[in-house]
Structure 1
Amino acid sequence: MSHSSVDHHRLRLVVRYTLLSLIALMFIFPLVFMLVSSLKPDHQLLADTASLRAFLPVGDISLSNYDKAFERAPIFLFMFNSLLVTAVTVVLSLLLCSMAGFSFVYLNWRGKQLAFSIILATLIVPFETIAIPMLLMVSKLPWLGLEGLTWGWLNTYRVQIVPFIADGLTIFLFTQYFKDLPRELIEAARVEGSSWWQVYWRIVMPLSGPVIATAAILKFLVMYNQYLWPIMVTQQEQYRPVLVGLQYFFQLNTAWGEVMAYLTLITMPVLAFYLVLQRAFIASIASTGVKG
């Protein structure tokens, strides 16, 4: 390779990594601003927003906003509620939606195409159009629990979980991914006497790491950022999630430093979940080795 070719290759690498670094900074800046702002008193926070000092931990830096935030709202309770609802919904959604996608791809049953078309049609329906009918329905549904038969699901965890277990996007993702898996694996397993459940659980799902990670991240973000539905169906503090808890910081006087501290705290689970799933996503791609 000539000297000019080496220089040209190095120049391309420098330009590429420079662009990637700039794009990364664009996504990091809001997080840096949020974290730095949470350490400043309100007067300094507002004054620094007009300059680059907004991104620098300079001036009167302290953790007092975090102390005040914990005094104003039960943050750990809200985070527990959001993480519980989100975790249960994500697990059940991955299981049921992957089973639905499996049936659409590998099983033959009457009305399959019509059912899949209806599921795809739900993607264009805004949630706001069905929120009120759903509210009227869940307020009258029966539930058999430890206390016996009760009516109405309001002020419970289940009302925040059950309506969102199955969704068109997750089913669509699994269906499209399963279509690209080698049919030879499925046919060989069936010839050897494997049941459809064994094919699904032992062959298809272990090869579906990338779509599982993708669907889990998307579902996690949707559920963790729920606001409209929880505020409609939960009137008791003990069931409310993090975004509904944000309204505690806008009552009477708005303390922006406390708002930033609260946002920083509730963002940490999202970042941690994304980083864990990102590593799992990369590992699954490296270990699968399946080509369509």
Structure 2
Amino acid sequence: MGKTSKDKRDVYYRLAKEEGWRARSAFKLLQIDDEFHIFEGVKNAVDLCAAPGSWSQVLTRKLRNKDDDSPTAKIVAVDLQAMAPLPGVIQIQGDITQLSTAEKIIQHFEGEKADLVVCDGAPDVTGLHDIDEYVQAQLLLAALNITTHVLKEGGVFVAKIFRGRDITLLYSQLRIFFPKVTVAKPTSSRNSSIEAFVVCQNYAPPSGYIPNMSNPLLDHQYCDWNEWEGPNRVIVPFLACGDLSAYDSDMSYPLDTEYKFRPPTQMPINPPYHEAVCIKKQDQLAKPAVDQLTKFESLELKE
């Protein structure tokens, strides 16, 4: 999350701070779930490109904080960089383009596969839209590739996508593996942003398909592309998620609104001032003012 004055006026940025989410993107996954109910019946979930961990926090709240006696879900978070620990989340610091990473995920699931795979990964944008869209498309294909190794049939795949003019091929590639693909735009995602999220349901790989990390997923051997006509061979429905009468993510809201306390989703992890507070309580960092006055009075008597 940014630190500019515009970000501080962003209502979702402030809500994330108040409720203890690590990033405002947590509301995007929550709003997607409100529309598609992607967490129903999920026992194993994978969060790709997980850092800083806001989506893993959502998975923890939705899948592990259950009041019934049903077993809680297993959650695996994967990212190249280290991430602060989360209770109930297994972290793998690895590359999603490596077969060993997929094997580690399945190993943590005790040989089973995942019911849900989510990916909120995005490249460091350059401002050149053509380049950013291409790099994001390749990142999504890498996430899709590892998903074919770890997702069970009938599972759900959710990933960030940049909607550009050449997005039709990417939709076609997703339709090879998922009969139902929808592009979702949560209300917490700024309208000025080209980002959206593909919600791919009912995973059904082509007959005879063998997952392979070296497979670029660009071949068309599993579909008859001549059956589609027109400039858009695959029409993917577009759906706005979230309450449209709620907050506008592109609008700046005043800071002097009445504050309402909300319990944090996660308590602070070993704050840096903790040790200083302990030292101060033990009277090792600063002496009481009474001792200081006694010292000055003794000096005056000596003089």
Which category describes the TM-score, using the shorter chain as reference length? under 0.3
Higher relative contact order (CA 8 A, sep 6+): 1
Which structure: greater helix fraction?
Answer: 1
Which structure: greater strand fraction?
Answer: 2
TM-score (norm 1): 0.25
